[in-house]
Every structure is written in C-alpha cells, then in structure tokens.
C-alpha cells in the first residue's frame, strides 16, 4: 500500500475517483417541507394558547418557504 507522502507527491498513482451517484433531491425537499409544516401547526397551537412566542411560527414559515425555493431549484438546475 503506498504511503500518504507517495500519493501526495504522485497523484497519478492514485485510483481514479468513482463516478458520482445521481440522486434526486426532490424527495428530500418534500420531506423537509412536510416536517416544517407539521412544526408550523405545533408552533401555531402553542402560540395561540400563549405557551410560546410567535418566533417559532415564523421560523417554520421561513423553513417551509426555503424548502419551496429548493424544490424550484431542483426543477431548474441543469443535469438533473
């Protein structure tokens, strides 16, 4: 097995990097939006019962909105 120094000085002796695995990010963003939506309902109930401040509600709104932006990004990005 070649040493780290040998591989650092002679990168051509390394094995080639494997090809990246194509992964669809759409399910990831959909699960995230769903999780933020559930958290929104919980935060809204806590806010309406005066058990928490409205900061949690706005955090959930922004999280879901960023998920929607990410979902739009997956549709537009090249090479999807």
Could you tell me if 5 and 22 are in contact, meaning their C-beta atoms sit under 8 angstroms apart?
no
Structure tokens at 79: 């090479």
Structure tokens at 9: 């000085």
Reading the chain (80 residues) residue by residue, the pLDDT tens digits are 667 787 778 777 777 888 988 888 999 999 999 999 999 999 999 999 999 999 999 999 999 999 999 999 988 876 55
Please give the model's pTM, rounded to 2 decimal places: 0.71
Integer Cα distance of 22 and 68 in angstroms: 21
Structure tokens at 19: 């090809």
Per-chain mean pLDDT for the chain: 89
CA dihedral (35, 41, 44, 49) positive or negative: negative
Task: Convert the pLDDT of each residue in 21-32 to its tens digit.
Answer: 888 899 999 999
């Amino acid at each position: 097995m070649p040493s780290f120094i040998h591989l650092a000085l002679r990168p051509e002796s390394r094995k080639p990097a494997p090809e990246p695995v194509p992964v669809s990010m759409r399910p990831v963003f959909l699960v995230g939006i769903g999780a933020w939506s559930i958290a929104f309902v919980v935060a809204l109930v806590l806010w309406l019962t005066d058990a928490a401040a409205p900061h949690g509600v706005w955090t959930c709104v922004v999280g879901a909105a960023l998920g929607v932006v990410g979902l739009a990004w997956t549709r537009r990005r090249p090479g999807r």
